[in-house]
Structure 1
Amino acid sequence: MENGQRVLRFLASGPASLRPAAAGGRLLLEAEERGAIAIEEHVLEKMVGQGVVVRASHSVALSGTGAALARRLASSMAGQGGRDLQLVTVEGGAGPAAALANLSESPLAQLMRRKGRDGRPFLAIREFEAGERLRADYTRGQIMPRLGANWVASVASGRRADGGGMAELTDAALGARRRVDKAIEAVGPELAGVLVDVCCFLKGLEQVEMERGWPVRSPKIVLKTALGVLARHYFPQENSARRAKPLHWGAEDYRPSIC
């Protein structure tokens, strides 16, 4: 979220006043000594939901979490200007949390920049967020890669890890392993392999295609299908909200008779 970075940098020096911009759906953040920036309102609302920003009626400021992220952003940009840092939401032990991610290392970030024939991004935002959440839990769970995938043994059992298994696992790591287990089970064995290859091992689609002997460009389609299933697992409330209402041929005031 590039606008999220702008907000972090702008508010790093202090709070700002807040008012609607001339364009609908946008807000102006103003500070006398720093000027003003315009952002989309949904971006600010998401940052408020992440606990990064504290919003009052006519002002906005960074929270403690936001200030820490702003310092990390400044340090990362000064040290490695080529990194593609963006603000993302990851699942933690206490619920969703904001974090800075280096998207240049993520194959999903590259797919997010691709567009289909209709001009829309190839991946929906929820598909991208689902893949990044799986990667975060996979990393947090200290699940070690192996030469051959073994989805029979439970992740939470520790039998997939090399050298140590459950030894010295923290509660957070164990919780992350269980979340990975549930996600893999929800996706199913037919689609889980490509998810782990791309999201967790950070393999490119060309590498997946070559290793699995798949037809040209087929990993891209299989991955999108898998991410769609994974997104429904992680965001079930959105899926239920979109579920179509039952159809019938009666008028609006139609009531079936009870025999």
Structure 2
Amino acid sequence: MAERRLERVEVAVDGVATQVLVDLEESPLGWLARRRGRDGSALVGAAQLVAGERLRADFTRAQMMPRLTADWEAVGRSGRRGPSAGLTPSEAAMAARQRVSAALEAAGPEFAGLLTDVCCFLKGLEQVEQDRGWPARTAKVVLGLGLDRLARHYGLAVAARGPERAGPIRAWSAQGRPAL
């Protein structure tokens, strides 16, 4: 069995810093996250990596991967257990399909296919470029743009930011009473 390389990555979700574990050996995104560009920054940022892995997790939960044989896992199962307690397996898969559809729609038609190939089907960038007839190193740039859109859809950011235009504080009151 191959050894897993788990790494903690910190991202901001809705303004709250969160650490997540990512298996960097399993996906092309993990490979890109470990590589550095000419300027020394990672080819895939932390928020982009988490967004891509989140899409892949929902894709897997949605059972959208093509099967070559019959699915015998569900035969003989009963009861509700696991992370989707309260939902039947088919309801959980349908909810995951809806999340995948919403994420790919938010990314837009120009990025949806590439995100599906790299994040879900785990195709390498060279293979994607070959399949699409793109020049070398084009997929890396387009993937970065698609992952940015995906991260924005999920509410992920590298740093927490407040509202663009916050109004000034007009009054401060004690004990939760509004100022008059």
Q: TM-score, normalised by structure 2?
A: 0.67
1:141 and 1:241 map into 2 onto residues whose CA distance is: 32
2:30 and 2:95 map into 1 onto residues whose CA distance is: 26
Name the Cα RMSD after superposition: 3.4
**Equivalent residue for 1:212?**
132
Q: Does 2:98 align with 1:178?
A: yes
**Aligned ranges 1:81-100 → 2 under 5 Å:** 82-86=3-7
- Superposition deviation, residue 175 in structure 1: 1.1
Structure 1's unaligned 5+ residue stretches are: 1-78, 90-96, 147-161, 247-259
**Equivalent residue for 2:111?**
191
**Equivalent position SS for 1:231:** helix
Deviation string for 1:173-221 (max 9, x for gaps)?
1111110010011011111111000000000000001011111110000
Shift in alpha-carbon separation, 1:239–1:112, aligned structure 2, 3 A:
closer
**Aligned ranges 1:213-232 → 2 under 5 Å:** 213-232=133-152
**Equivalent residue for 1:136?**
57
**Equivalent position SS for 2:59:** helix
- Superposition deviation, residue 125 in structure 1: 0.7
Structure 2's unaligned 5+ residue stretches are: 11-17, 75-87, 167-180
Deviation string for 1:56-111 (max 9, x for gaps)?
xxxxxxxxxxxxxxxxxxxxxxx64x32134579xxxxxxx998653212100010
Paired letter, 1:125: A
- Superposition deviation, residue 119 in structure 1: 1.2
Q: TM-score, normalised by structure 1?
A: 0.48
1:179 and 1:119 map into 2 onto residues whose CA distance is: 34
Deviation string for 1:138-180 (max 9, x for gaps)?
001100349xxxxxxxxxxxxxxx989xx98522211111100
**Equivalent residue for 1:114?**
35
Identity over the aligned pairs, expressed in percent?
A: 51
Paired letter, 1:176: A
Shift in alpha-carbon separation, 1:228–1:171, aligned structure 2, 3 A:
same
1:175 and 1:99 map into 2 onto residues whose CA distance is: 22
- Bigger-Rg structure (1/2): 1
Question: Contact (CA 8 Å) 1:115, 1:121: kept in 2 or not?
Answer: yes
**Equivalent residue for 2:78?**
none
Question: Contact (CA 8 Å) 1:141, 1:176: kept in 2 or not?
Answer: yes
**Equivalent residue for 1:203?**
123
Moved over 3 A (4+): 86-89, 97-102, 236-246
Paired letter, 1:228: D
- Structure scoring higher RCO (CA < 8 A, sep ≥ 6) equals 2
2:121 and 2:163 map into 1 onto residues whose CA distance is: 34
Number of aligned residues: 143
